[in-house]
Amino acid sequence: MILSVRDLRVSFRTHDGPVRAIDGVSFDLEESEILGVVGESGSGKTVSLLAVMGLITDPNATIQGSIRYKGRELVGLPPRELRRLRGNEIAMIFQDPMTALTPVYTIGWQIAEQIRAHRGVSKAKAMERVEELLAEVNFPNPHEAMSRYPHQLSGGMRQRAVIAMALSCDPALLVADEPTTALDVTVQAGILDLVRKLRAKHKSAVVFITHDMGVVSELADRVMVMYAGRVVERGTRMELFSDPRHPYTRALLGSIPPLTGQKPRRLPAIPGSPPSLLRLPQGCAFGPRCPVRYEPCESGRPGLGGGAHAAACFRVAQA
Amino acid sequence: MIYAILRRFGQMLFVMFGISVIVFLIFFATPGADPAARIAGRNASPEVLAAVRHSFGFDQPLYVQYTRMMEKIFVTGDLTSFVNRGWKVVPAVMDSIPVTLSLVFGAAVLWVVVSIIIGIVAAATRDSWLDKLLMALGLLGISMPVYWLGEVMNLITQSRYHDSWAFSWVPPLGYKNFSDDPRGWFLTLVIPWITLAILYIGIYGRVLRAAIIESMQEDYIRTARAKGLSETRILFRHALRTSLIAFVTLFGLDFGALVGGSALLTEVVFGLHGIGKLTYDALQNLDLPMIMATVMYASMFVVIANAVVDFVYILLDPRLRAS
């Protein structure tokens, strides 16, 4: 087991009172497994993974629960220790490749910087490695690309450079925060291919955050659906796509246009919008938008329960 | 590259030409601004006025007067003062340049070094008592007018505490040539440097702190953290480097203006006969040739400072290199 998160809670103090962005999230990750984390904006996907990375720098945030990486507790680890893991054993790819790289340094410099932060190698050795990495992420001319500045590369190229950077120290765990959202569809496909290939080669486990069900269905071994700071359904990809149990998961899948059969006149959408974390409804957070809500949903929040394929819904528990 | 430099040079010339025309017209062509009447003094008879007009060439068309004046500044260099006839203007400016340059260069070194340190320390210890103290001191520095601060400095170092061990080294006011007496040059300028720099240390320290704090919110700082870099490295290599752009912009403007004569108050307080003082005196007498010469000189420095800033931008920010 690479990563084991138990009952993770992240809350922020704000002017309008405390906001619980993550409310009791638990999940496990096996070696070289790809976990897809799905949900709308504000559902807590990114915050939960930033917590894993120790990258929540907001002084108003409190993190509770347990995050174990290879058996080692990360919550409360001194910053120095955490820094040794970050970039080295746990690497992250961010959503927007346009702003994720420092504009005033070449990408070769920036990748070498990470290598040299964790490995005591010479500059020349680091640069050799950079060239290998850039070749690995399909830069046509890696040697020349090293001396390019971020603004001289396209979005897809930048994301490849960011991926090369993330892989530079052979991390055991790779966290990808919507790495394809800001890219064109064709570039997206290339990046997904790359992630799959790299998983095979580097044996890294990957947490892939996305709001794109299509991406999940192509890539993930297991899937976790989040809503309003909680996990509402989890299961293998097959389980989730063939037998979605939570009404939210079903609604998400229902809003994907079908490739075969008759074209629907209008795509079904989920009515309403995600609740504000400051004013969560009584009972189930999805209740107000749920097509199958009934009495119990008004009073208590349903738990996820045990089991590999589980959904946090009273209807499911009842059935 | 050569084309870009030439184009830049052409722009500089054009700006200076524009400035010279505007200044010339303000003094010669504004309604009611008759230079002959000013030179001849009040209650001058029409005959005297006509004689002055002829003698100074004011009876010529404006463009002839303008061309002649420019020729005398830039080609022959023998433009003479209207007020003190026979006094050559160009050498007077040349004599003042080292004074002002010494003052402003020294102060600039001081304020750049100190304000960078203050900006970094304040940004790194953001919201701590140290940050608050530094920013309060900066505000204090900005609020103190330089003529007042200079006089207080003089009061302390020249008069009240001059005989104490702390300030007995301070030489009397005035300027000493670097080539004659390097030690004297340095000692006479220390107090003026500090006085002039304090204002700018306050401004630049605050600007840099704000810029660093702003860059610390950027996505690439989060990437740098995710790479496992130390906070110090993130601050110096990633946040500071990108924050210096605002700093350089400001520096170019202020430095150009100061060299061009804005250090007047400091020069007057410390008895330094620099460009500011020269311009000030010329304005008092409405001595047009002198004003023209100092303005041309000042505009040259502002334009050059801007060109240097543009060049430093290109060094700092690779995004500007392509265009």
**Residue B322 near chain A (CB below 8 Å):** yes
* B-chain residues near A96 (CB < 8 A): 219
**Residue B246 near chain A (CB below 8 Å):** no
* B-chain residues near A94 (CB < 8 A): 219, 222-223, 226
Q: What is the pLDDT of chain B when averaged over all its residues? A: 84
In this prediction, residue A204 carries a pLDDT of 85
Task: With a cut of 80, say whether residue A296 has pLDDT above it.
Answer: no
Q: How many CB atoms lie under 10 A from the CB of residue A46?
A: 20
Task: With a cut of 70, say whether residue B196 has pLDDT above it.
Answer: yes
Q: Which of residues 211-240 of B touch A (CB under 8 A)?
A: 218-220, 222-231, 233, 237-238
Task: With a cut of 60, say whether residue B323 has pLDDT above it.
Answer: no
SS3 A35: strand
Q: How many CB atoms lie under 10 A from the CB of residue A57?
A: 12
Task: With a cut of 80, say whether residue B224 has pLDDT above it.
Answer: yes
**A317 pLDDT tier (thresholds 50, 70, 90):** low
Give the residue with greater pLDDT, B82 vs B302.
B302
Mutate to test the interface with B, among A47, A69, A84, A104 (most CBs of B within 10 A): A104
C-alpha–C-alpha distance, residues B207 and B200, integer Å: 10
Give the residue with greater pLDDT, B164 vs A4.
A4
Place of tokens 């260099």: B77
Burial B218-233 (b: 16+ CB within 10 A, else e): bbbbbbbbbbbbeeee
Q: How many CB atoms lie under 10 A from the CB of residue A169?
A: 21
Q: What is the pLDDT of chain A when averaged over all its residues? A: 83
pLDDT digits (tens, 9 = 90+) for A66-97: 888 888 888 888 888 888 888 888 888 888 88
In this prediction, residue B135 carries a pLDDT of 92
Cα atoms in the 13 Å half-sphere on the side-chain side of A74: 26
pLDDT digits (tens, 9 = 90+) for A299-309: 777 777 777 78
Q: What is the DSSP string of A94-138?
A: -S-TTTSS-TTS-HHHHHHHHHHHHS---HHHHHHHHHHHHHHTT
C-alpha–C-alpha distance, residues B3 and B238, integer Å: 33
Q: Please report the number of interchain residue pairs, chain A to chain B, with beta-carbon separation below 8 angstroms.
A: 73
Give chain B's domains with CATH numbers.
94-275 (1.10.3720.10)
| Element of type H or E holding A222 | strand A222-227
Nearest residue, CB atoms, B228 vs list A83, A94, A96: A83
C-alpha–C-alpha distance, residues A233 and A315, integer Å: 13
In this prediction, residue B115 carries a pLDDT of 93
List, in order, residues 6 or more apart from B179 with CB less than 8 Å away. none
pLDDT digits (tens, 9 = 90+) for A271-288: 777 777 777 777 777 877
pLDDT digits (tens, 9 = 90+) for A161-219: 888 888 888 888 888 888 877 777 777 888 888 888 878 888 888 898 888 888 888 88
- Provide the whole-model pTM: 0.81
Amino acid making up residue B74: F
**A18 pLDDT tier (thresholds 50, 70, 90):** confident
* CB A183 within 8 Å of CB A150: no
ipTM over 0.90: no
Task: With a cut of 80, say whether residue B169 has pLDDT above it.
Answer: no
Output the CA–CA distances (angstroms, integers) from residue B311 to A226, B113, B308, B315, in the order listed: 51, 20, 5, 7
